[in-house]
């Protein structure tokens, strides 16, 4: 459950970063793997987490203003957020680290890479935002009610086994958490919407960072066309596309997702 503070598989810890109490979910064993969650908050510990946790220590900070971490007033955009995490990695002696970023979390990771690619060993970006696609557009989910927003993130909700468990399942508490996450996403990226015009210009500095882009072919949130925009500036990035899959390959096709990620990091 996204609202609880631990399970046999994972524990929550609180780390001070610039006076902010950052809530970090930690679980598994092995070399650390940083996980940056998406714009609806931390969806909870899911199958793919358990699978990767067998060989990696997952470090999943809940971004300031999302889930259980309080908002930091000074963080007003995704680049600020990237700077916040840069400081977290340095202070926790975690850099260079392997990382996976999902959607808005992928954008945070990309901003971090654009600033200092040496923070990372290898990077997986799952349908990242941050770059305005040359073809198509990032879905304006601010014009959707939260539950509908969640609904369109997957290609087929009925065929997605863990759909009902995302963010702790349906109910007023979940609705409230989703609304709070959406509010924070609006604070950070209402306009320009979910991208930073300067990112493609700066991301070239990370052109040799080993990077894997993962995308669902039926992604309705960030169109697959954006992969080419990332690859244009990150020439080292390879792309793996999942068929019959939307914006959440990690829950829509968890086995394939885990296989790709393990193979890339090995």
Partner 1 sequence: MHLMYFTERPYRYVSNDEVIKTGFFGIENKHFDSVKGGQLLNEYLDEKVLAEELGFDGVMLNEHHDTAFCMGSVMDVEASILARITKKVKIVLLGNPLPVVGNPLRLAEELGMIDMISGGRLVAGWVRGGGSEQFASNANPAFNREYFNEAHEVVIQAWTKPGPFRYEGKHFHYRFVDPWCLPIQKPHPPIWIPGLLSPETVVWCAKHRYPYVALATFLEPTVELWNMYRDAAAAEGYQVGPENFGYLQKVYVAETEEKAREIAKWDMFGGAGIGYSLFGQPQWMFPPGYNSKDATRRMARQFTDPEATKGSPWAGLADGSTLSKNESISDAQIKTRSAIWQDKPIDVEQTRKQILDAFPAVERAMQVICGTPKTVIPKLRTVLEVLRPGIFAFWQNDGPISKEDRLNNMRLIATEVMPAVREIGKELGLTSPFEVTPGSRPLSKGSKPQSVGSLDALRAMREQPVAAL
Phi, psi of 184 (to 5 degrees): -65, -40
- 54, 87, 148, 201: residue in contact with partner 1 (rule CB under 8 A): 148
Token couple for 156? 């087929």
Question: With binding defined as CB under 8 A, does residue 172 bind partner 1?
Answer: yes
Q: Which is nearer to partner 1, 14 or 183 (CB)?
A: 183
- 162, 173, 218, 256: residue in contact with partner 1 (rule CB under 8 A): 173
Which stretch, 9-17, 118-126, 171-179, 201-209, contacts partner 1 (CB under 8 A)?
171-179
- Comparing CA positions, the residue from 221, 214, 212 lying closest to residue 241 is 214
Task: Give the number of other Cβ atoms within 10 Å of residue 214's Cβ.
Answer: 27
Q: Which is nearer to partner 1, 90 or 142 (CB)?
A: 142
Total binding residues toward partner 1, as defined by CB under 8 A? 23
Query: What letter does residue 127 receive in the DSSP assignment?
Result: S
- 31, 190, 208, 235: residue in contact with partner 1 (rule CB under 8 A): 190
Question: With binding defined as CB under 8 A, does residue 179 bind partner 1?
Answer: yes
- Min CB(147)–partner 1 separation in Å: 7
- Min CB(96)–partner 1 separation in Å: 34
- 91, 135, 176, 243: residue in contact with partner 1 (rule CB under 8 A): 176
Q: Which is nearer to partner 1, 135 or 179 (CB)?
A: 179
- Min CB(146)–partner 1 separation in Å: 8
Q: Which is nearer to partner 1, 20 or 185 (CB)?
A: 185
Question: With binding defined as CB under 8 A, does residue 185 bind partner 1?
Answer: yes
Please report which residue ranges of 21-74 form alpha helices under DSSP H.
47-53
Which position has the token pair 């968890």? Answer: 254
- 54, 145, 238, 244: residue in contact with partner 1 (rule CB under 8 A): 145
Q: Which is nearer to partner 1, 48 or 66 (CB)?
A: 66
Q: Which is nearer to partner 1, 30 or 171 (CB)?
A: 171
Binding pattern for the stretch 125-144 against partner 1, x by CB under 8 A and - elsewhere:
-----------------xxx
- Comparing CA positions, the residue from 80, 76, 82, 115 lying closest to residue 101 is 82
- Min CB(151)–partner 1 separation in Å: 10
CA distances, 52 to each of 8, 45, 60, 224 (Å): 15, 11, 13, 25
The footprint of partner 1 (CB under 8 A) covers 142-145, 147-148, 170-176, 179-180, 182-187, 190-191
């Amino acid at each position: 459950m996204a609202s609880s503070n631990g399970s046999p598989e994972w524990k929550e810890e609180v780390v001070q970063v610039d006076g902010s109490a950052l809530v970090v979910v930690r679980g598994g064993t092995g070399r650390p793997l940083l996980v940056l969650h998406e714009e609806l908050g931390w969806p909870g510990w899911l199958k793919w987490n358990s699978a990767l946790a067998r060989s990696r220590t997952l470090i999943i900070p809940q971004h300031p203003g999302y889930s259980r971490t309080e908002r930091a007033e000074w963080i007003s955009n995704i680049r600020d957020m990237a700077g916040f995490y840069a400081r977290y990695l340095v202070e926790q002696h975690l850099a260079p680290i392997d990382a996976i970023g999902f959607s808005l979390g992928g954008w945070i990771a990309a901003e971090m890479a654009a600033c200092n690619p040496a923070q990372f060993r290898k990077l997986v970006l799952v349908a990242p935002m941050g770059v305005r696609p040359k073809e198509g557009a990032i879905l304006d989910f601010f014009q959707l009610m939260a539950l509908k927003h969640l609904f369109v993130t997957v290609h087929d909700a009925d065929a997605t086994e863990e759909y009902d468990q995302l963010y702790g399942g349906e109910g007023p508490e979940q609705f409230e958490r989703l609304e709070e996450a959406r509010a924070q996403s609006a604070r950070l990226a209402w306009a320009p919407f979910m991208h930073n015009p300067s990112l493609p210009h700066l991301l070239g500095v990370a052109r040799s960072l080993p990077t894997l882009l993962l995308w669902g072919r039926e992604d309705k949130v960030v169109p697959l066309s954006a992969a080419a925009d990332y690859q244009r500036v990150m020439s080292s990035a390879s792309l793996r596309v999942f068929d019959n899959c939307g914006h959440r390959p990690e829950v829509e096709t968890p086995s394939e997702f885990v296989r790709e990620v393990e193979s890339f990091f090995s």
